[in-house]
């Protein structure tokens, strides 16, 4: 476990193959691609693939969009991006996300996922965003836990997308 700035971690190249959880709090990152750029410039051999990294936390940052997740983090299964400024998120590059926390952002719609992630994602936290509908959530067939508190979901009874989530065991919809 390492918790520090991305610039500090990039200088610890000898640890890249040992870290299973990377936490970056209050980073100045505006895009997750910047992580890959920092690591690329810090190593002679280029960008590292953090093969054993399982958890990535980039919390209380300035991330606005997730268009393309850095390839070096493709093995990550638990992603925590809470308390950023994310308005749109695309996780199509990820094939095995198990848990994703995007709470306290500015999301307007449910993130996009790759077909395999649709069958591996079991925990999704989208609380404290600006969601008005749940379009796209019906494809997350393995979802067991879904938190949607503090959004703008007005007609919960009309959200038929939830009917498709046959594995769902926990649903939080308070303060909508």
Bigger pLDDT: 41 vs 21 = 21
Q: What is the pTM of this model?
A: 0.87
pLDDT value for 72: 72
Q: Whole domain around residue 124: which residue ranges?
A: 11-172
Report the percentage of the chain scoring pLDDT > 70: 79
Reported as a single tens digit per residue, the pLDDT across 29-44 is: 777 776 666 555 544 4
Q: How far, in Å, are 1, 40, 41, 163 from residue 23 at the CA level?
A: 8, 18, 20, 35
pLDDT at site 174: 95
Give the pLDDT confidence of 111-165 residue by residue, as tens digits.
988 776 678 899 999 999 999 999 999 999 899 999 999 999 988 777 889 999 9
Measured between alpha carbons, how far is 153 from 85 in angstroms, rounded to an integer? 20
CA distance 81 to 60: 8
pLDDT of 2 over the 60 cut: no
Residue 114: the pLDDT is 72
Instruction: Count how many domains the chain has.
Output: 1
147 within some domain: yes
CATH code at position 153: 3.80.10.10
Query: Which residues, 6+ apart, have CB-to-CB distance to 8 below 8 Å?
Result: none
**Mean pLDDT score of the chain, rounded to an integer?**
82
Is 3 contained in some domain?
A: no
pLDDT computed for residue 163 by the predictor: 92
């Amino acid at each position: 476990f390492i918790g520090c700035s991305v610039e500090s971690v990039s200088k610890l190249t000898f640890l890249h193959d040992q870290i299973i959880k990377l936490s970056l709090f209050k980073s100045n990152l505006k895009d997750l691609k910047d992580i890959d750029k920092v690591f690329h410039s810090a190593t002679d051999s280029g960008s590292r693939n953090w093969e054993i990294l399982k958890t990535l936390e980039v919390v209380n940052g300035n991330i606005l969009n997730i268009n393309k997740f850095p390839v070096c983090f493709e093995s990550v299964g638990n992603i925590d991006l809470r308390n950023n400024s994310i308005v749109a998120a695309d996780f199509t590059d990820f094939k095995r996300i198990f848990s994703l926390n995007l709470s306290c952002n500015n999301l307007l719609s449910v993130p996009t996922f790759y077909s395999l992630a649709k069958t591996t994602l079991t925990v999704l936290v989208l609380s404290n965003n600006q969601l008005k509908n749940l379009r796209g959530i019906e494809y997350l067939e393995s979802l067991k836990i879904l938190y949607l508190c503090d959004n703008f979901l007005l007609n919960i009874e009309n959200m038929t997308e939830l009917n498709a989530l046959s594995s769902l065991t926990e649903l939080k919809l308070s303060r909508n």
